[in-house]
């Protein structure tokens, strides 16, 4: 079982920046992917960005050019979010995918409002 400690998030004005961090309790053997997903009220959970063990990244079209995901070390991943907009408001979840298994963090609220 993998657990996570998430930090960051909060309230920011449109155009502002926030940083989310996630640290896993353990890492599995072999390749795995870590990343961030988000869920707005009344919406389905959606991909934000992921990074593999070889540091290949994948971004949702809606955040390309604004968000940067990085693998700090084997246990930690950071999401830098720039030029935040009101439609970025959501609960952000850290995720680890190992094969077909998914492990989720507890969620961190990001609110973009003036």
Give the Cα separation of 58 and 64 in Å (integer).
9
Say which DSSP state 8 is in.
E
Q: Which helix (H) or strand (E) holds 104?
A: strand 101-104
Residue pair 57/51 in contact (Cβ under 8 Å)? The answer is yes
Residues in the chain predicted with pLDDT less than 70, given as ranges, are none
pLDDT value, residue 72: 80
Phi-psi region of 107 (alpha: psi -120 to 50; beta: other; left: phi over 0): left
Q: What's the confidence (pLDDT) of residue 78?
A: 96
pLDDT at 86: 97
pLDDT at 49: 98
């Amino acid at each position: 079982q993998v657990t996570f400690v998430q930090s960051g998030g909060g309230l920011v004005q449109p155009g502002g920046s926030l940083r989310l961090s996630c640290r896993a309790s353990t890492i599995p053997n072999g390749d795995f992917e870590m990343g961030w997903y988000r869920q707005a009220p009344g919406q389905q959970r959606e991909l934000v960005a992921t990074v593999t063990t070889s540091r290949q990244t994948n971004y949702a079209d809606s955040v390309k050019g604004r968000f940067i995901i990085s693998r700090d070390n084997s246990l930690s991943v950071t999401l830098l979010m720039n030029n935040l907009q009101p439609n970025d408001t959501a609960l952000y979840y850290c995720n680890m995918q190992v094969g077909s298994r998914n492990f989720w963090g507890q969620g961190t609220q990001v609110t973009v409002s003036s």
